[in-house]
Structure formats: C-alpha cells, structure tokens
Structure 1
Amino acid sequence: MIDEAEPVLREDPVMDRLVDTHDPYVEPDWTEYERLCISIINQQLSTASAAAVRERVFDVLEDEVTPETVLAADDQALRDAGLSRSKVDYIRNAAHAFQEQDFTRAGLAGVDNDEVVDRLTDIKGIGEWTARMYLLFVLERPDILPLGDLAVRRGIEQLYSNGDELTRAEMRDIAEDWRPYRSVATRYIWAEYEADSSIDLDGVGVYSE
C-alpha cells in the first residue's frame, strides 16, 4: 500500500518532503485482540504513559494477551499495572466480544468501514477513536483519517499552518489531496510528530474518543 500511495502523496509538497524524510511507522505483529487492548490502554494517555502502562499490563499477562488470559487475570494486578477500573472493564468487554463475534481481519474482510465502526462501538469502552485505530492498524484500511487523535491534529497544524489552530473541516480539506491513501499520510504525520520535539504533547491526553 505504501508504494501505491507514494505517487499520490508526492503531489502534496508537504507530503513529498515527509516521504523523503521518514519511513512510515510499522507496528509489531500484534494480534487483533492485542491491538484493540492497546488502543483501550492508550485512551486519554500521553505516548510515554501509554507505552509504560502497556508494558506493565503485558507483563502481568506474561505476554499472552488473549480474551481468555484477560478474563482470568486478577483485577488488582491489572489495576496495579496502571489500568483504571473502567479500562479493566473495557478490555474484558472486548474479550467477551471477541469470544462471541469474529473481529479478525478475515472475519471483517467484507465489512465496510462504517459497519466496522458500528460493531466495535457497540462494545462498552470502544469509541470512535479506538474503532478508527482498529481500521487503520489492524484491518489496514487505506483511507482512514483519525482526527480524534490529538497528535494527528497537532501534526497537521504544525505542517500546514505553522502551528496555528485549524478546524477539523479545514483538516479534512487538506487531507482531500491524500485520498485514497489517507491512512498512509497519517502514518507519515505520526512519524513527523515523533521526530519533531517542537510538537510537545507529553503529559497531554494524546488519544481521545
């Protein structure tokens, strides 16, 4: 998908520079359920805080993050790892949902983006942002623009308006040039955000529903 997207993105001078500067972020080979749990952990946390909590939670589960291990885990151990009571409930809600329905890549292969979002947001604790992260990272849908993510919004503002605030409508207009590869463009924006120390979000709720 990245190779297919490059000619389209290079039509945008800003993206042209980012393509030359960064390798789009490639995640570890997490399972579908692991990635959904990570998105739940990330909600309302800064990048650094989310990574630390994720590591501790995975340690509690001995790196076997499945619906079965999460449902069997000790509540207090998960709380001690940094999960709020609500997030413990949310990853368990997701565990039950995965046991009852097929949320794998294969199971959702023929389901359109809006229907995937509807199915995921039926799970208590899964909101629009988390569902779009699932579309982008797990299902690898090519044209997702997750403006619920503060890092994406700040990154667009930094790149396209010298840090001045933009409305979401203005951001969507900018992103029209990236269709049908807005997911790939988003990865370049994240890469720039991670590399640019002037975009300081540490301690801020980067991930939001």
Structure 2
Amino acid sequence: MSLRRSARLGAIPSLTAPMSSAAPAPALKVTRVQHNNSITKPRKPTIKKATTKTPKSKHTTPSLPTTSTTTATSSSYWDSTPTSTTTRPSTPPPLNRPVDPHRTNATLLTPHGSSINAYPTTLAEASPSKTGLPHPTATTGTLLDQGLAHLIATDPRLKPVIEAHPCPLFSPAGLAEQIDPFNSLTSSIIGQQVSGAAAKSIRNKFVALFNLPGTAAASADASAGVEEGGLAHSRFPTPDIVARCDIPTLRTAGLSQRKAEYIQGLAEKFASGELSARVLATASDEELVELLTAVRGLGRWSVEMFACFALKRIDVFSTGDLGVQRGCAAFVGRDVGKLKGKGGGKFKYMSEKDMLELAAKFAPYRYD
C-alpha cells in the first residue's frame, strides 16, 4: 500500500469537512492567507445575494494551524481514478433518499446496469425490520448540513475553514452520482505506484482490450447500441469477462504481473458474488474493511479511500494517510515542516493513538 501520492499534497486539518455548495450560508471569498500557520477572515466578505454588502470586518478568526489545501486524500486517491467511474445525473438530485454515515451513501451500479442503494428510496420503507440495517439518520438533502453543524458545534474554529472550502462530495448532487464499484476498485489497483498519467494510459489500454472487435465486451456494446469510435463510448468490462481473461493478455495493457493477478482476483470475487454492489452498499464500516482487505492488492488505505470517495461514507478516518497525519498535527499546533525530516516510521507526524483520540469527538462525521 503506497502513501506517496497523498504525501505530495498539503492538508488543512483533516477533521474539517467543507461546506456544501448548496448550503444557504454566505459564500466567502478568501483574499489573503497568512503564512504563519493561521487563517484570517477575508478582508471584504460579500454576500452573493441581491445587492446587499456587508461592512468591512474588524475581527479575525481564532488562529487555526493549516497548510495549503484541503483534504489531501481527496486528490491522492481520486486523481488516479478516472471520472468515468461515476455517472452524473442530468436531473436535479433527490433530496429525501435515506442515508446514514456508516453505510454506503452513493448509488452503486451492478455489472449489468441496475442500481443499488443501501436504503429504499423512502423513509417509510427504511425501517430496520424491513432492511435489517440501523434506522437511517439523514437524507441526501440533510447529511452534509448535519455533518457541518456537528463539526462547528464541536470546534468553532472550523467554521471559517468549512466556509472557505466547499465540499461537493457529500452534497445532494455528489450523493446522486452513480458508482461502478468494480470499475473504481480496478482503477485504484491500476493507479498504485505509478503517476496519474501512466495510470490513465494503462486504464485506457485495459478498457480497449475488452472492446476490440470480436470480444464479448464489444458484442455487448453493439447489442446495447453503444457508439463505436473511442474510449469515451467504450464500456468498462464486467467482472466475469475479466475473470476469464488470462494473465498474459491482461499484461498487454501495460499491467505488471502482480497487478494483473490482483485485478483478475478482484474480478473473480465479483463474478462469484462474494463481492457485489448489494454487499458493498449494506456492509458496516468494519465489514467493508474486512471484505476488501481480503482481496490481494487492496490494503487498508486503499479501502478507506474507496469507502470515502466512491462509496461516500462520511465517517472515514484514515490514520495511515500522510495527509491526515499532517492535518492532525497542524490542527494541534505542531510545526509539520520540522517534523517532516524526522523519523517515527509510519506515524512520523502524530501517533495513531493521539489521532484517534483527537478525532473521536467529531464522529460520526470524521471525513478527512
């Protein structure tokens, strides 16, 4: 499991969650950020509403240690996972679909095109007696607002950070994205230990491998009326097709021997039903980690990134991520620049025990 990609990125305190773009709070434009590890309010915050202007602020926010950007993990994982992993709806997102921080909040696609949600689409049908799951605690329209309110109430210093960094991931539109879990996990394996450009190239070759004339995937596309002439119209191969493909053929896409074996093993688990959209939607956080770390090529960090950025689980707290470690250390006032060159093994910026204790009060909205 590699942590290199997240190490390239800075991290605003990992316990913060950005504000929904759909939230009614005033939109603030940051005009200046101090370089002494503190954040100040904008000089002239404006309310984007009618023509009303607010007077110049005479106060600054409490000092809050920070570095350059928000949530290092968001880019470190998702930059290597192509956007074709998701399907963005063209219609307004639903606001009343039941969701819960500890279940999959995204809509998952099955290999054959149907969609799965952890809970039914109405609260009336989401009772524990019918679903076998805990009662949902929010809807797609309220989850982010509830989370942000909890974070700010727990530590008011987070408010200006949240206001300055909108979070589309858990907004109603973000929660309406449809995720193909096999596509996402396969892309994650492809992206391990290589640059983003290399991962994109290998993935394109991998998809093209199953969309060549005469292949089962190409026949399926033709029968479904999928337009030919480019990867933009190519269908990601289904697990059963990948599972039947031999390792030498998979390697022609540019995969290493091990990655080819990892992807074939992942495909076999989906093809057999051991993994499925339904299983991933309803599993608890602990069950999810246990199921996916049993797959060769998927370590705990990879599973946590998948849980947060693909499955849209909102209480993910990845202590093994360097960006999270740096954010936690900065949050408590440590000079992360001085800590960078020191030893300390996996947890050089802050011990795992200290991070878990720090984050406990923010649960169940610890999204980093």
Normalised to the residue count of structure 2, the TM-score between the two structures is 0.43
Gaps of 5+ in 1: 187-209
Determine the structure 1 residue equivalent to 2:324: 152
Distance in 2, matches of 1:132 and 1:99, equals: 23
Residue 64 of structure 1 is aligned with which of 236, 243, 268?
236
Q: What residue is the counterpart of 2:360 in the other structure?
A: 176
Distance 1:18 1:82 in 2: 41
Q: CA deviation at 1:90?
A: 0.7
What residue is the counterpart of 1:117 in the other structure? 289
Contact 1:53 1:83 in 2 (8 A): yes
Distance 1:169 1:17 in 2: 27
Q: How far does residue 5 in structure 1 lie from its aligned partner after superposition?
A: 0.4
- Contact 1:38 1:54 (C-alpha < 8 Å) held by counterparts: yes
> In terms of mean alpha carbon deviation, does 115-124 or 75-84 score higher?
75-84
**Residue in structure 1 matched with residue 185 of structure 2 by the alignment:** 36
Alignment partner of 1:99 is 2:271 = yes
CA, structure 1 residues 63+109, in 2 after alignment: closer, same or farther (shift >3 Å)?
closer
CA deviation after TM superposition for structure 1 residue 89, in Å: 0.9
Range moving further from structure 2, 24-33 or 123-132? 24-33
Q: Share of identical aligned residues, percent?
A: 30
Match of 1:16 among 159, 177, 182: 159
Superposed CA deviations along residues 50-94 of structure 1, whole A, max 9, x for unmatched, are 556545544555451431443466756754655322111111111
Partner of 2:145: 3
Aligned to 1:167: 351
Measure, in 2, the Cα distance between the counterparts of 1:18 and 1:58: 40
Deviation by residue 1:96-151 (Cα, 9 ceiling, x = unmatched): 00011253443344432222222222222222222223332343333121122233
- Residue 33 (structure 1) shift: 0.7
Q: How large is the Cα RMSD of the aligned pairs? A: 3.1
CA–CA separation in structure 1 for the residues paired with 2:195 and 2:157: 26
Assess, with a 3 A threshold, how the Cα gap between structure 1 residues 16 and 55 changes in structure 2: closer, same or farther: farther
CA contact (8 A) 2:247 2:261 kept: no
SS in structure 2 of the partner of residue 143 of structure 1:
coil
Q: Is the 8 A contact 1:39 1:133 kept in 2?
A: no
Q: Tell me how far apart the structure 2 counterparts of residues 170 and 92 of structure 1 sit (CA, whole Å).
A: 39
Structure number with higher helix proportion: 1
> d(CA) in 1 for partners of 2:310 and 2:167?
15
Larger Rg: 2
Conserved in 2, the CA contact under 8 Å of 1:79 and 1:88?
Answer: yes
Dislocated runs of 4+, deviation >6 Å: none
Q: Deviations over 1:174-193 (max 9, x none)?
A: 2223211112xx1xxxxxxx
Shift in CA distance, 180/168, structure 1 to aligned 2, threshold 3 Å: same
Pair 1:41–1:177, CA change in 2 (3 A): farther
Change in Cα spacing, 1:154 to 1:124, as seen in structure 2 (3 Å) is same
Instruction: Report the count of equivalent residues.
Output: 184
Is 1:129 aligned to 2:304, yes or no?
no
Residue 178 of structure 1 aligns to a residue in which SS? coil
Q: State yes or no: 1:87 paired with 2:259.
A: yes
